[in-house]
Amino acid sequence: MTADKNKGITNVIYNILDRPQEIQFGKGEKIINTYSADGALMTQTIQGFPTGNKSVEYVGELVFANGVLTDINHELGRVLANNGFKYQYYLTDHLGSTRVVLQEDPDVFTTSAGFETESMEEESGQFIGYEEAVRISADMLNHTPGEESMYAMRLSGGYRGTEREETVRWTVLARGQHAGRV
């Protein structure tokens, strides 16, 4: 490919390893790539775009944008270094293509349930099987403060008719993914 009118690419210059060395666009914008002898991308310089010029350097598993560490790649995903060191894990299909990205972000994905009568309607929309959970009225199981607290619930499985319903737990660890049955 030497041009792509859909993307506004007017010319592509390849190096001896048949990798795109320079990609030129219609209004003078260009992307310049530098490769190592084995064909691994080392630097990418973006010039002339309205968002400004940018230089990205790839040093092993480390990625630097304009001299600042942004990403640390590893075999299961990456660490976003420029955003408080947040971990991202990639779930891939049988061909190795990324299908799901899991990110450690407790501020966004945290929810809780108090299992009290006045909050049942709101909480039932956040949890699957909330309505079918067995409500137990026992002081020794109830750890919610207040006099109006009367119930506890069993969430780690239960019985529906003659079939046993199991709860599946996903635990994302710093070294990988694990799906286990509780």
- Supply the pLDDT for residue 174: 40
Q: What is the pLDDT of residues 2-17, one digit of tens each?
A: 888 888 899 999 999 9
CA 156 – CA 86 distance, rounded (Å)? 29
Q: What is the rounded CA–CA span in Å between residue 38 and residue 125?
A: 53
Closest CA to 51 of 71, 31, 34: 31
> Which stretches in the chain have pLDDT values below 70?
105-117, 124-182
pLDDT in the model for residue 128? 63
**Segment 23-53, tens digit of pLDDT:** 999 888 999 999 999 999 999 999 988 888 9
Residue 25's CB is within 10 A of a number of other CB atoms, namely 17
Residue 176's pLDDT is 44
pLDDT of residue 182: 41
pLDDT on residue 26 = 87
